[in-house]
Structure 1
Amino acid sequence: MHYTGEHILPGLIGHFAVVLSFVASLMATIAFGKSNFAQIVDVKNSWKKLGRLFFLVETICVVTIITLLIYMLHAHLFEYKYVWTHSDKTLQMQYLLSCLWEGQEGSFLLWTFWHCVLGWVIIKRAKKWEAPVMMTISFAQVCLATMVLGLYFGEKHIGSNPFILSREDGIFDMAPIFHDGDGKLLENYMNFVRDGSGLNATLQNYWMVIHPPVLFLGFASTIVPFAYAVAGLINKDNTWTKDAVSYACFSGGILGLGIMMGAAWAYESLNFGGYWAWDPVENGSLVPWMVMIAGLHTHLVFNKTGYSLKSTYLFYILSYSLILYSSYLTKSGVLGDTSVHSFTGAGTELQLLLFVLIFFIPAMILYIVRAKNIPSIAKEESTYSREFWMFIGSLVIFLSALIIIGKTSVPVINKMFNTKIADPEDVKFSYNQIQVFIAIVLGLLTAVGQYLKYKDTTKKYLLQNILKPTVIALAIATLISIFVKIDYNEKGIGYQVALYVALYMAVYAIVGNIGYVFVVLKGKVKAAGASVAHVGFAMILLGVLLSSGNKKLLSHNTTGIPGFEKSKTEDPAENLTLFKGIQTDMGKYDVTYIGDTMNNEDHKRYFQIAFKGKNGINEAFTLYPDLIKNNKGVEGMGANPSSKHFWNKDVFVYVSAWKHADDDTASFMPGELKVGDSIFYSNGYMILNKVDVNKASDRVVLKPNELLMALNMTAVSKEGGRYPLTPAVVVSGDNARSIPDTVMSQGLVVRFNKIVDDKAGKFQIGIKESQSMGDMLTLKALEFPFINVVWVGVLIMVFGFLMSVGQNFKRENSVQLRKV
């Protein structure tokens, strides 16, 4: 049947490019492999040129595929499943890129694209290592190409084709509007396709335009040290370590940046209540980075001393294997119930698992077989040598990574072995209680390690250089402990002491590495890439301790009005309910819900929340948290936080519930009382203090001959809040009109009904309780002191890594020039 309105050509070109990229990457793998194993120079070069040609074809195909998908998203070609599933016509232009990598296919293509870029860097720089390294990279491209191949064998399929038509996947089968009387799809069904299903609400943020490309560059970069290590094992040649160190530094820096950009996204866009939640997807990217850093340190040790080459091989193999494993975790759907930002399964679980094993198992077998050919020094390192403590530090990092990935893999273990291992009651603390001690060790080693020389160090030299930084660090850390403190004692005195020790070690690492630059390197900052990276890492550690250890809840529920039911993740007692236009006490601030606006451009409802400091806090600012309707499998509204950034803190706010004013159906319930009596309502009681007659009031303007009688009352909530009430009645001759009074934060309305007994002084009032008196929202507000230390630390750490890359590239170039 011919269907009108469909644009078939982009899909045909795209699918052809996918198949061609698969074939080209397979041929590139073979050609580079032939070049590596060839003995004759001319044959080796001939195969290498052919490998480059196939890799060029593959690169062109990958760029074509991505370009076509961007075009299809921009043109709203909803006849394609990928476009219909991940976009709609209302999306802002910048979010089209987010649409590209929202789906599994797009994320694999992004990963493949970065492999292409890195591959051309290798081709340009790798010299004798080009063929074996590109053989591994090209084979990885073969595996990635299968993830978007979309070939079916009966009910089984290899990969998911991003160019499949919506009608071929049955997208429109359930809607009668697209079918004729016999249930067949109409030839002009496209005339009835008005829009796509849209982009996931959590991805509609600028961080999701820039975070995934950087993170996937980090993912892709880990293959380069891995490929060098595999090449060394295959060729029984360990000289690769001189060339590969720059790529390991780059991978450590860019992957670390990608991870922390994800933390910034979580902080800016997710109601994590912070920047790190030990979420499985966060851990899935953190662990390979940690193993890469462990490998980088043992790599540097080997280049300087000849020690730790076996460890370097192992760490690089595990780092890339863990990248693949993290892809299995995030894309197989196994974490669907435990992570807020993982992909759901798309029938590729087995293929993803094979992707992990096809690299890990052969590499480990090769490592074991070649172990006897890996050189090692029989002589034990001195305990006063830099290499000894760098190796110990690498083992500590590796141990930490194993603990994290073990806890993160519980859902996988439960699925594979049908076990029912439950998460701990406090997931964050289950990680923190172990990692804080690892942080202490790493802080100490980072502070002292660089003052040690390779081979051996005299005690006199060490003490002479380390004494001044030690005293300065002790003084600074003591001042921070006294004036800033770590106000976190929820887990007992032992854990709080550990946090303080970690604080001292973080400061020690900062001061120690700065001191090393000026004392040992004599101010040669250009040669201090490692020290700069260490300073950045220590600042991240310090910032985490100060911001998380001193995180303060501002939004204690003083009104007693629960905006929602208690859940595992949210407690109404930690969320304050505000009524529109009513200033409400929030401890350090008076907070007012000014209003809200629906932005038709990004489809978010923005809330204007005014903060005004009190008790000597001279601060006034407005925040604009928002809600966006969830559109991908989760009901309700998704919350996006808003933060006010000060130099020494952030005030972080997100809306946890919102209710628009409805018609009020509640009725008044009568009650009688005298002066001094009290009467209960659902959240407290009210006292009649006295009766005022004709007392001036801002609430009532009297006409001539009118009499005003007002009941001076106080409502006292269960939480201890006291609220004045003055229900009144205005009498004019035989007529009377009631002037009710309200306590918005208590949902309480009181009116003066009548005098029951004039002589006894008994009065009747009407009491109405309603949550529909006006718009109200419930929000959570947190204060993060010194959180900027975290973000500045990230930038410094990444800058240090890039300095190291530059240093090593410069060193490699100078070596090559000397050879020439």
Structure 2
Amino acid sequence: MNYIGEHLFPGQLGHFLVVLSLIASLIATIAYFKSAQAVVPDEAASWKRIGRIAFIIDFASVVVVFALIFFIIWNHWFEYYYAYNHSDVSLEPKYLISSIWEGQEGSFMLWTVWHGVIGMILMKTSKKWEAPVMTVISFAQLCLATMVLGVYIFDLKIGSTPFLLTRDQFQDAPIFQRADYLSLQSMQDGRGLNQLLQNYWMVIHPPILFLGFASTIVPFAYAIAGLWKKDFGGWIKDALPWNLFSAGILGLGIMMGAKWAYESLTFGGYWAWDPVENASLVPWLILVAGIHTQLVYNSTGHSLRPTYFFFILTFILILYSTYLTRSGDLQDTSVHAFTGSGMNWQLRLFVAAFSIPALLLYIKRYKLIPSIRKEESTYSREFWMFIGSLVLFLSGMFIITATSLPVINKIFGTNFVVGEDREFSYNRIQVFVAVILGLLTACTQYFKYKNTAKKEFGKKILVPTVVALLASVAISIWGGVDYDKYGLGFLIAIHLAIFANTYAVVANAAYIRIGLKGKLKAAGASVAHIGFGLMLAGMLISSSKTSVLSNNFLNPLNFGPEAKEKGVENMTLYQGVKMDMGKYWVTYVKDSSTVKDKKIFFFVDFESKDGKEKFTLKPDLIKNTKGQEQYSNNPDAKHYLHRDVFSYISYADKMVEGPDTAQFKSHIVKVGDTIFYSGGLMKFDSVTVNPNNEKHKFTSNDTAVMANFTLITGDQRKLGAFPVFYLEDSQPRYVIDTVFAQGMAVAMGPSDKEGYFNIGVKESSRMVPFVGLKVLQFPFINLVWIGTVIMVIGFVMSMFWRIRLLK
């Protein structure tokens, strides 16, 4: 059948280029391998030229493939399933970019493009290490190319193509029996982008994170090259700038993800020990451990064996985190994970193809790797740097083991869990890691390599120690850090960690002056340590002092019997009604909803009770096109230098679709009687004949009766209700009174029983627009973000310093 309106050429070109990149990366792998193995220089050079040409072709192919995916999405060509499944016509241009990496195929291509960029740079800079290093990177490109191949060999599917046509995905759908199916209404729009990704951080976070992932192949490739060529220490200095870059960019990517979680997710913070968060953190911890042992080797010749192990393990863990994310094994325990796509066998093979040969080569060469047997002094810098690396490694192993429990349970049929309170299960261990790392970060630079005079060390470290102690005691006493949810022991650990990381900041700042004589160009390590200390201190203080401002014991929303605490952590705000929220008066002013809107902004005014500040927050709800939840919510925050006021909509009447089906319930009562309703009781106080007030203007010639009710709510508040019944032209008329705060309407009418009235009561959540608003306060949250930026700057400074030393 000749289908009308399809744009097939971009897909055909894309398929061709994916195959071309596969072939080119295979040729590059073989050519670079032959070059690395060649003994004759001319033969090595010849194979190297072939490898370069093939890799350039591969790089050009993947860049064009990536551009074609975006081109298809940008033009809303929904004949392609990738565009149909991951985008729609309402998306802003920046979110059309995010649509690329919502799917597995696009994120694999992003990773492949970054590998290509890194490979192009290494071809110019790695010199004698080019052939073995580029062999590893070319092989990685080959593996990644298979992930987007999308072909079948008999019944075995290899990869998943981003150029699959929608009609091929849904072959049996009746609409695709029509040649003009693209003109049908159902094909005029796509399924849209996951609502959690419709945040500006998700435009910039994935590219940075995937650059971090891709960059970890460089220390791995250099380590493999060293083992392969038996030049065990020759690569160390060449690789160090790359390793520092990788640690900096991966750390930045991880924390940008934390910022996205803070601004887009509603778990009330920036880190929830989510399995996929953990899977990205652990390789960074191991990489940083490897950098420190690498520095030790540079200066003393110690710790080369653990350096190899850490760099090999870093990339293996990157691949393992890829498996965890994409296999579907974590889809029930992580908000980040992809669902299963039938590629599990490929993902496992991808991990095995790098980890098994690398570990076997490491084991085979282990005894050949130079190792100094001399015992290190406890007053030497290398001793404590190694201890710090070991702590990072053990911390990472604990996290990845706990994170892998869903996979372990799936394989062995077990039922291991980290604990009912997942966050505390991690925090009770990691808080002590923070103590140890803070102390080591503070003190280690004051030691010299090999040995340090005790008096000299004590003299230099004394002032920073006293200053840090005084500062941390001040924070503990006047900072209000009294987080006692898990008992006194955990609270003490928090205060110890605050001291340790304050110590790290103060001691490293002092070291720039004392140890480096103010030489900032060489101060990259100290700057990174200052940032790391600030970041950990910010995490400790902001997390332990986080408070719920929207405590609501008056009219809590009903989140079910298993989530009673959620009800009292959400203020129920009725539109136009000013509510008391402790420090603030809060008013739900309006919303931006229209019939066609997928995103609804809620305008909430905050006014401090002292009258000194007013601001408006605009949290929003996005109607889901994917997933089980009907709506997703994006928070909004008011940022101060020392705190954030963070808000999100947990519920809104706009989430309920369809007409209001609530009915009036009739009560035959007389004055003095009481009517009970779900939220309290109504006392029938009196009747007013022909009321004349601000609301009603009846005269003695009219026939009107107003009932006067006092409502006593469940929280003992007293409210009024005043329904009216009257005759006009001998026809009965009813004036219903609405008690918005109780979601209630009250009507009054006559009764056949003398002295009694017919009172109608209707209870409905649809009486007036309302929202459930949760408001949190994060003190000193900016320390986390400022610390992250300073840490990354420190890594960059160190990278450029090492490049300068190489030259």
TM-score range, shorter chain: over 0.9
Contact kept in structure 2, 1:92 and 1:602, CA below 8 Å:
no
Residue identity in the other structure for 2:85: T
Structure 1 runs not aligned, ≥5 long: 180-185, 814-820
CA distance 1:3–1:679, change in 2 (3 Å): closer
The Cα offsets for residues 624-655 of structure 1, whole Å up to 9 and x where unpaired, read as 11111222232411111111111221111111
Residue identity in the other structure for 1:57: I
> Structure 1 stretch 214-223 or stretch 201-210: which is displaced more?
201-210
Distance of 1:752 and 1:598 partners within structure 2: 34
Q: Which residue of 1 aligns with 2:300?
A: 305
> Structure 1 stretch 748-757 or stretch 362-371: which is displaced more?
748-757
Distance of 1:613 and 1:289 partners within structure 2: 42
The Cα offsets for residues 124-175 of structure 1, whole Å up to 9 and x where unpaired, read as 1111111111111111111111111122112211111222222223x2523x
- 1:452 paired residue among 444, 447, 450: 447
Distance of 1:679 and 1:445 partners within structure 2: 69
Matched, 1:47 2:47: yes
Distance of 2:45 and 2:596 partners within structure 1: 56
Q: SS of the counterpart of 1:590?
A: strand
- 2:667 paired residue among 661, 667, 670: 670
> Structure 1 stretch 311-320 or stretch 512-521: which is displaced more?
512-521
Contact kept in structure 2, 1:563 and 1:777, CA below 8 Å:
no
Structure-to-structure mapping, 1:339-488, within 5 angstroms:
339-422=334-417, 424-488=419-483
Residue identity in the other structure for 1:86: H
Q: Which residue of 1 aligns with 2:143?
A: 143
Distance of 1:689 and 1:375 partners within structure 2: 95
Distance of 1:19 and 1:731 partners within structure 2: 82
Distance of 1:119 and 1:591 partners within structure 2: 55
Contact kept in structure 1, 2:743 and 2:768, CA below 8 Å:
no
Contact kept in structure 2, 1:214 and 1:257, CA below 8 Å:
yes
The Cα offsets for residues 236-258 of structure 1, whole Å up to 9 and x where unpaired, read as 11211111111111010000000
Q: Which residue of 2 aligns with 1:818?
A: none
CA-based RMSD of the aligned residues comes to 2.8
Distance of 2:349 and 2:595 partners within structure 1: 45
Contact kept in structure 2, 1:714 and 1:722, CA below 8 Å:
no
Q: Which residue of 2 aligns with 1:659?
A: 653
Q: SS of the counterpart of 2:106?
A: helix
The Cα of 1:422 is off from its aligned counterpart by 3.9
Matched, 1:189 2:181: yes
Q: Which residue of 2 aligns with 1:110?
A: 110
Residue identity in the other structure for 1:73: I
Q: Which residue of 2 aligns with 1:251?
A: 246
Residue identity in the other structure for 1:83: A
Distance of 1:97 and 1:199 partners within structure 2: 10
Q: Which residue of 2 aligns with 1:551?
A: 546
Structure 2 runs not aligned, ≥5 long: none
The Cα of 1:678 is off from its aligned counterpart by 6.5
Distance of 1:428 and 1:416 partners within structure 2: 24
Distance of 2:530 and 2:693 partners within structure 1: 64
Q: Which residue of 2 aligns with 1:817?
A: none
Distance of 1:564 and 1:730 partners within structure 2: 38
Q: Which residue of 1 aligns with 2:82?
A: 82
CA distance 1:678–1:231, change in 2 (3 Å): same
Contact kept in structure 2, 1:310 and 1:374, CA below 8 Å:
yes
Contact kept in structure 1, 2:167 and 2:176, CA below 8 Å:
no
Matched, 1:744 2:740: yes
Distance of 2:158 and 2:676 partners within structure 1: 68
Contact kept in structure 1, 2:528 and 2:795, CA below 8 Å:
yes
Residue identity in the other structure for 1:173: D
Q: Which residue of 1 aligns with 2:321?
A: 326
CA distance 1:701–1:427, change in 2 (3 Å): farther
CA distance 1:569–1:69, change in 2 (3 Å): farther
> Structure 1 stretch 421-430 or stretch 99-108: which is displaced more?
421-430
% identity of equivalent residues: 52
TM-score with structure 2 length normalisation?
0.93
Residue identity in the other structure for 2:188: R
Q: SS of the counterpart of 1:598?
A: coil
Matched, 1:584 2:584: no
Q: Which residue of 2 aligns with 1:497?
A: 492
Distance of 1:751 and 1:473 partners within structure 2: 69
Structure-to-structure mapping, 1:107-186, within 5 angstroms:
107-169=107-169, 171=170, 173-174=172-173, 176-179=174-177, 186=178
The Cα of 1:218 is off from its aligned counterpart by 0.1
Residue identity in the other structure for 2:176: F
Contact kept in structure 1, 2:688 and 2:708, CA below 8 Å:
yes
The Cα of 1:755 is off from its aligned counterpart by 12
The Cα offsets for residues 500-550 of structure 1, whole Å up to 9 and x where unpaired, read as 111111211111111111222122222111111111111111111121111
CA distance 1:568–1:113, change in 2 (3 Å): farther
CA distance 1:452–1:715, change in 2 (3 Å): farther
CA distance 1:757–1:568, change in 2 (3 Å): closer
Contact kept in structure 2, 1:110 and 1:213, CA below 8 Å:
yes
CA distance 1:112–1:686, change in 2 (3 Å): same
Distance of 1:148 and 1:391 partners within structure 2: 41
CA distance 1:715–1:568, change in 2 (3 Å): closer
Structure-to-structure mapping, 1:29-68, within 5 angstroms:
29-68=29-68
- 2:501 paired residue among 506, 523, 526: 506
CA distance 1:498–1:753, change in 2 (3 Å): farther
Residue identity in the other structure for 1:80: Y
Distance of 2:461 and 2:44 partners within structure 1: 53
CA distance 1:709–1:513, change in 2 (3 Å): farther
Contact kept in structure 2, 1:729 and 1:736, CA below 8 Å:
no
CA distance 1:749–1:243, change in 2 (3 Å): same
Q: Which residue of 2 aligns with 1:816?
A: none
Q: SS of the counterpart of 1:571?
A: helix
Distance of 2:661 and 2:383 partners within structure 1: 74
Distance of 1:195 and 1:479 partners within structure 2: 59
The Cα offsets for residues 179-238 of structure 1, whole Å up to 9 and x where unpaired, read as 2xxxxxx33333333222222221122111111100000000000000000000011112
Q: Which residue of 2 aligns with 1:182?
A: none
> Structure 1 stretch 130-139 or stretch 89-98: which is displaced more?
89-98
